[in-house]
Amino acid sequence: MAWLGCFTFYFCALKAKGNRMNKIAVIGAGTMGNGIAHVFAQFGNEVNLIDISQDSLDRGIATITKNLDRQVSKERITEEDKTNTLSRIKTYTDLGEGVSDRELVVEAATENVDLKLKIFQDLDSKAPEGCILATNTSSISITKIAAVTGRPDKVIGMHFMNPVPVMKLVEIIRGYATSDEVTKTIMDASSALSKVPVEVNDYPGFVANRILMPMINEAIITLHEGVAGVEEIDTVMKLGMAHPMGPLQLADFIGLDVCLSIMNVLYDGFGNGKYAPCPLLVNMVTAGKLGIKSGEGFYSWRHGTKELVVADNFRK
Ligand SMILES: NC(=O)c1ccc[n+]([C@@H]2O[C@H](COP(=O)([O-])OP(=O)(O)OC[C@H]3O[C@@H](n4cnc5c(N)ncnc54)[C@H](O)[C@@H]3O)[C@@H](O)[C@H]2O)c1
């Protein structure tokens, strides 16, 4: 009966291959979207990268190329891997064209509830019926996003960490209606990218940002109250708590606009004053000081990310 074993093995292998998604769309080519496109393409998937702005797409591809170059120079991948990865990414400014034949869409557009609800309504009418719709939102309710679609069982949170090609964690968030099957498919898809998926439930901020963001906000309040300067606060947390970087530097990496949106989601979601965003954070976002992506936040990034230079506003 050895042939039966062989046949069963062959059939299962085919089935597993058949079940593996490899037509992916990523919406948003910013900080997170280009990283998500990078890892999916690096692990052999065909990726359609979609953004409303051609400039963002161009910058996204330039960032992916630069990050692949770094991986080549560190001998983590070969020059051929780099070429193959880039050849698997196509760019689109039209959502319908980009998702029409996809099996999985990962949305990584700007953190704004109304924008995400609109994108998921569009996705529901433009992506194939069986396509799983994932969102990389840092904090917005998956259940709320799912509710604007006709397929809430196929909507799930797939929360990658920044920088995506480096960070191992993917927080997988089940909405109220997300099916077991879809959860398993996305857990497996994350493992196939050599990431470690962790399943959590849908509450404001999930786990990662419910804990991280109030700490960053508290660091900004500490600065705002004049308890200590930018460098002092970051040094206390780096050397005292063994954090790889201080909370103010991390806020600049994440983007202060993203930090503010997440604090607002926590504040609205729990109705508790302890989550009120610091007025200094609100002012900086209003003034367009968003961190690395705008060139200045708590630090000045105009001369690159190698050296930490405190922004003029926070110099003593
Ligand atoms: N920055 C982080 O560290 C981080 C970490 C984890 C998750 N996230 C989440 O990832 C998502 C993206 O954040 P980001 O930091 O990459 O933002 P970003 O501002 O760097 O990029 C957002 C991109 O979305 C594009 N966009 C806006 N509206 C669009 C639309 N309708 N269709 C297509 N593209 C559109 C913008 O042009 C921009 O290129 C957010 O939900 C954020 O909360 C961010």
Question: Best mutation site among 258, 292, 294 for ligand 1, i.e. most ligand atoms within 8 A of its Cβ?
Answer: 258
Mean per-residue pLDDT for 189-216? 97
Phi, psi of 270 (to 5 degrees): -100, -15
Ligand 1 atom index nearest CA of 261: 43
The pLDDT assigned to 100 comes to 98
The pLDDT assigned to 13 comes to 37
Ligand 1 residue neighbourhood (C-beta within 6 Å) = 27-33, 50-53, 56, 108-111, 115, 119, 136-138, 159, 162, 254-255, 258, 293
Please tell me the distance from the alpha carbon of residue 106 to that of residue 49, in angstroms, as a whole number.
Answer: 10
Domains of the chain, with CATH numbers? 2-201 (3.40.50.720), 208-314 (1.10.1040.50)
Give the chain's mean pLDDT: 93
The pLDDT assigned to 284 comes to 98
How far apart are the CA of 17 and the centre of ligand 1, in A?
31
Closest residue CA from atom 39 of ligand 1:
30
Please tell me the distance from the alpha carbon of residue 61 to that of residue 34, in angstroms, as a whole number.
Answer: 7
Express each pLDDT in 219-246 by its tens digit: 999 999 999 999 999 999 999 999 999 9
Q: How far apart are the first and last CA of the chain?
A: 81
139 against 151, higher pLDDT: 151
How far apart are the CA of 258 and the centre of ligand 1, in A?
9
Ligand 1 atom index nearest CA of 115: 31
How far apart are the CA of 124 and the centre of ligand 1, in A?
20
Ligand 1 atom index nearest CA of 253: 3
Question: Best mutation site among 105, 110, 301 for ligand 1, i.e. most ligand atoms within 8 A of its Cβ?
Answer: 110
Tell me: pLDDT of 67 over 80. Answer: yes
The pLDDT assigned to 171 comes to 98
Q: Which residue has the tokens 């209606």?
A: 177
303 against 127, higher pLDDT: 127
pTM attached to this predicted model: 0.87
Which SS3 state, helix, strand or coil, does residue 112 take? coil
Please tell me the distance from the alpha carbon of residue 38 to that of residue 185, in angstroms, as a whole number.
Answer: 20
pLDDT band for 15, please (50, 70, 90 cuts).
very low
The pLDDT assigned to 306 comes to 85
Half-sphere exposure at residue 152, Cβ-oriented, CA atoms within 13 angstroms: 12
pLDDT band for 2, please (50, 70, 90 cuts).
very low
- Residues 6+ positions from 79 with CB-CB distance below 8 Å: 72
Ligand 1 atom index nearest CA of 160: 6
Express each pLDDT in 44-66 by its tens digit: 999 999 999 999 999 999 999 99
The candidate with the shortest Cα–Cα distance to 35, out of 147, 153, 146, 136, is 136
Tell me: pLDDT of 18 over 80. Answer: no
Tokens of 47: 């990726």
How far apart are the CA of 108 and the centre of ligand 1, in A?
5
The pLDDT assigned to 236 comes to 98
How far apart are the CA of 113 and the centre of ligand 1, in A?
12
Half-sphere exposure at residue 310, Cβ-oriented, CA atoms within 13 angstroms: 14
DSSP E strand stretches across the chain: 23-27, 46-50, 89-92, 104-107, 132-135, 155-160, 169-174, 196-201, 299-300, 309-310
Closest residue CA from atom 30 of ligand 1:
52
In 20-112, which ranges are continuous DSSP H helix? 31-42, 54-73, 79-87, 95-99
Give the whole-number percent of the chain exceeding pLDDT 90. Answer: 90
How far apart are the CA of 11 and the centre of ligand 1, in A?
41
How far apart are the CA of 261 and the centre of ligand 1, in A?
12
Closest residue CA from atom 2 of ligand 1:
254
| Amino acid letter for position 9 | F
pLDDT band for 20, please (50, 70, 90 cuts).
confident
CB 36 within 8 A of CB 48: no
Please tell me the distance from the alpha carbon of residue 247 to that of residue 217, in angstroms, as a whole number.
Answer: 9
Ligand 1 atom index nearest CA of 116: 31
Mean per-residue pLDDT for 181-195? 98
Residue 18, classified by CB atoms within 10 Å of its CB into exposed (0-12), middle (13-18) or buried (19+), is: exposed
Q: Which residues are designated catalytic?
A: 138, 159, 171, 209
